[in-house]
Structure 1
Amino acid sequence: MVTVTPQASGTASERAGLHVTYDGRVHPAEEIARGAAYELFSADEVPGFERAPRGATYRWRKFVHVTEVTAVHGSTEPTEEAESPLLMPVHRERGWAQLHQLSQQPAAAGDRVLAAVRASAVIRPGTRMVKVLSARQLGGYVRGWLPHGFCYREHDVAHLRTPAGMAVLRGDGEGGRDGTDVAYALRWRAGGPEDYDVPVGAGHRGLTALPPRDRLGPPVLGTGFVPSNAQFIPEFITRDFADLPMPANATLLAYPAEGVEVVLYTYQAEQRGWLRMVGPQWRHLLAAVPGLSPDQEYVPTGDAPRSTQLVGAYAGSEYEAVADQPGGFRVLAMTRAARYPVDAAARRLRHATWRGVPCLVLREEAGWLRLRLCRPDADAVATTGAQCHERGVYEAWAPGAELTDDRVVDLPYPVE
């Protein structure tokens, strides 16, 4: 349990700024992600702390998750609803350390206590989601890729702020071995829990059994947690590994070794493109991104093929819509006056079956269809010849004439 003392109360020293109690010591601190994590500072060397970047006020620092601290002094009042933390049922023999050990054992996927902890990590409309990217993947998103595959709640990973720390979340197979001193990420707000799934249970058992030769990135444990000796992080996937429509105000981020968050681009839904936000000081962070000019202020994505679309109903007619959570869904329109809140909203996508394997249809070119496997396993990969493009994401080309059960599906969202 974390004790939080508002800034207006506490001792005189506590009112002087934000301080956090960690491992029995009180440290000056800076809040990260609205209190999901903290950067702690120390003038003297402390076990577990690392040297701060040159020019910093304090010589030593450490990033910690809110669950690692015991008290927060001088915090400001929250401006929005906090995300639900991981909760552990009271247990006589098990603490967080024992649960972390269980989370790394595929055989423990059915453990009731572990499952209860995993179920406490929930997604709601507006939850900030994060997907860690390589430089190549960042370039893909700037040119029109959509959120898909493995991802995480920002609340659970906010303490990972350096390329070395974030390597555990990468799914491209490099995992920090590509020689870059910067990590990249996509952050967006969830349209709702309907768009996500947890990679546990019988439906994902084939994914956990894929051999190393058929996958990229770390193995999928089947417990719903990231494979890591040090981190206890719940992981999610987009449902059926589908693309999700890019919501308004999504951001592409960079995290250099200094541990700061740099906003590179913000998504402009009405203009269908990314607006560069990064200034000259950090523009060198884009140098490693293939095919991207750091001097280009706006990158349109309107011509990029899209496998999914958000549609909404307003006044009896159907329109393309955009998610702007937690404010809901609205008509996608260039003029502000026409951005009406919709009466109903749904995510539209195309499903098909090829050689008995359920797939998503991503795009069509000259009679051939680009497919993504909904439930990857060794048999499906062998049958379709699908290639792994990132952790859990398998794609293949198929002749259009060979597809069966080809259909367009609308998956509705609750609209108040």
Structure 2
Amino acid sequence: MSQSAMHRDDPILRWIRDTAAVRRGTRMTKILSPAQIAGHLGGWLPYGFCYRSCDLTHLTEPGQLSMLRTDGAADDRVAFALRWRATDPSDYEIPGDTAHPGLAALPAHSRIGAMVLGTGFLPSTDDLIPEYITTGFADLPLPANAQLLAHMPGGDEVVLYTYQPEQHGWLRLAGPRWRGLLGELPGVSPDREYVPCTATGTAKLVGTIDGKEYEAVADPPGEFRVRALTRAARYPVQTLSRRAEQALWRGVPCWVLQRDETWARLRLLRPDMDALGVTGARCYERGVYEAWAPVDELTDHHIADLAYQI
């Protein structure tokens, strides 16, 4: 039933899928290509398709994990991954459900990677793995101590880098044994740490203390604090929200990922055939569709604050 679109509305299947909940602090995993590893070292944030780490513990070999890659490629030699802790359940949704009815209907020539079944489970004849996407395919601010990993043949898991939000950078943990592996990553130097990242993300956490606003850091499940280099200044915030830039282009809701005075790079919140036809958006990885648009064609261009309950 999990592998057939005709069962996507079956009440028993939905009941089973609802038991796979994301909670604050749940460890999430996204399987990456070498180029995506380099992108995250340069400042990319988590977005798109991801999975609960606990649902992948039986997949230990690179060949098994490669089916979760979003670029449609495979590698039996090594599988890379980003692992982080969920800041809030509202940051995740089920692909192909009522929020994304058109995602499962996208034809093969308009997508990269496996089709979206709409049942909430990964297309697989052997495994029952619940899928998630970041809500609206949004960028999510990285929480403290996120990790970039390599899964090697034989089941070895190597932590390559760990994220330190106060420095906005990745500290290298892999030792000399893994120098050759790091050297194979495109544009990555095995001799350096990425502090700070070369780019800032498109989303950030904002907190308030007594009505004053500060950039915030999440250390889930229970710590949300002011981003500060000195430990004594890392006060707990009283409110917390995720701040991102949104707009409409030709009536299609989009995240604004990058812009200057003339052009803006956009990502579709709810990709379907109508939205692709209007915007001409291109698929960059599974479920992720982006396009460039003239800034003066954007409407309802605003900064959105998406509040969390803490």
Query: What TM-score range do you get, normalising by the shorter chain?
Result: over 0.9
In structure 1, what is the Cα distance between the partners aligned to 2:297 and 2:249?
Answer: 7
Which has the higher Rg, Structure 1 or Structure 2?
1
User: How far did 1:181 drift?
Assistant: 1.0
Pick from 344, 350, 355 the counterpart of residue 239 of structure 2. 344
Query: Please, which moves more after superposition, 278-287 or 403-412?
Result: 278-287
User: How far did 1:305 drift?
Assistant: 3.8
Contact 2:96-2:103 at 8 Å conserved across structures = no
- Counterpart of 2:25 in structure 1: which amino acid? G
1:136 equivalent to 2:35? Answer: yes
Contact 1:182-1:285 at 8 Å conserved across structures = no
- Counterpart of 2:205 in structure 1: which amino acid? L
1:94 equivalent in structure 2:
none
Runs of 4+ in 1 over 3 A off after TM superposition: none
1:205 equivalent to 2:101? Answer: yes
1:255 equivalent to 2:151? Answer: yes
In structure 2, what is the Cα distance between the partners aligned to 1:312 and 1:275?
Answer: 25
1:183 equivalent in structure 2:
79
In structure 1, what is the Cα distance between the partners aligned to 2:201 and 2:223?
Answer: 22
TM-score (norm 1): 0.73
Pick from 258, 280, 288 the counterpart of residue 363 of structure 1. 258
Query: Could you give the per-residue CA deviations for residues 189-209 of structure 1, whole angstroms, max 9, x where no partner exists?
Result: 000101111113333121111
In structure 1, what is the Cα distance between the partners aligned to 2:283 and 2:48?
Answer: 12
Pick from 261, 268, 289 the counterpart of residue 164 of structure 2. 268
1:41 equivalent in structure 2:
none
Contact 1:143-1:300 at 8 Å conserved across structures = no
Q: Which has the higher contact order (CA 8 A, sep 6+)?
A: 2
1:115 equivalent to 2:11? Answer: no
Change over 3 Å in CA distance of 1:393–1:192 after alignment to 2: same
- Counterpart of 1:406 in structure 2: which amino acid? H
In structure 2, what is the Cα distance between the partners aligned to 1:118 and 1:272?
Answer: 35
CA RMSD of aligned residues (A): 1.1
Query: Could you give the per-residue CA deviations for residues 252-287 of structure 1, whole angstroms, max 9, x where no partner exists?
Result: 000111211000000011111100000111222213
In structure 1, what is the Cα distance between the partners aligned to 2:26 and 2:201?
Answer: 23
What residue ranges of structure 2 are gaps of 5+ in the alignment? Answer: none
Pick from 53, 62, 70 the counterpart of residue 154 of structure 1. 53
In structure 2, what is the Cα distance between the partners aligned to 1:228 and 1:288?
Answer: 30
**1:203 aligns to what SS in structure 2?**
coil
In structure 2, what is the Cα distance between the partners aligned to 1:118 and 1:258?
Answer: 31
Contact 1:264-1:276 at 8 Å conserved across structures = yes
Matched ranges for 1:1-150 at <5 A:
102-150=1-49
- Counterpart of 1:264 in structure 2: which amino acid? L
Contact 1:250-1:266 at 8 Å conserved across structures = yes
Pick from 277, 283, 293 the counterpart of residue 382 of structure 1. 277
What residue ranges of structure 1 are gaps of 5+ in the alignment? Answer: 1-101
User: How far did 1:302 drift?
Assistant: 4.5
TM-score (norm 2): 0.97
